[in-house]
Amino acid sequence: MTILETSRLLLRPWRVSEAAIQRELWTERDPRVPPHRRIDAAGHPTIAELEDAIRTSSTDLLAIERKATADVIGYCGLIGSGSTEDPELAFELLRRTWNQGYATEAARAVLDWARSSGHQGLRATVWPWNTPSRRVLAKLGFTETAPTPSDPTRTLLTTLRL
């Protein structure tokens, strides 16, 4: 079980009781995000569906908890850490916590963990319109290259060598 700590944050596995926070993240997503990553017309995913996903998931996307208030504000972690490719850094925070440095702080902790775990590099992809995420990734040392071949609407950021 991976648990990471910074001066202000604790990154840890999700608890089933936090499914409502995951759903809030889904409801806040920009309308330009593909439909399969937003709440659909029938209201899916529901809190119950997200609870089930937390129970059965073995993801490396960790809940971001603020130490001072013990509230979960989003997630940060790696996608595809078990594959032969470099894993992808991913993060998402509740809008009310934007512009406070939490995404950069959490992502930096994940970078350090990835490095100490033996990963040689990380990659990141982001939609060109997602300026806040692009700024976070630039602060971490990623540089923008080109659209991804599999999805030309997303910008590939260079793999960050660790």
User: For residue 104, what is the domain's CATH number?
Assistant: 3.40.630.30
| Contact status, residue 92 vs residue 64, Cβ threshold 8 Å | no
Task: Write the pLDDT tens digit of every residue in 50-68.
Answer: 999 999 987 789 999 999 9
pTM of the model: 0.89
Determine, yes or no, domain membership for 67: yes
Q: How far is Cα 114 from Cα 112, in angstroms, rounded to an integer? A: 5
φ, ψ of residue 25 to 5 degrees: the values are -60, -45
Q: What is the pLDDT of residue 57?
A: 83
Domain count for the chain, please give it.
1
Looking at residue 128, its pLDDT comes to 81
142 inside domain: no
Confidence band of 85 (pLDDT split at 50, 70, 90): confident
Please tell me the distance from the alpha carbon of residue 126 to that of residue 92, in angstroms, as a whole number. Answer: 12
For residue 151, is pLDDT > 70?
A: no
Q: Is residue 125 part of a domain?
A: no
| Closest of 115, 138, 106, 95 to residue 8, by C-alpha | 106
Instruction: Report pLDDT for 16.
Output: 96
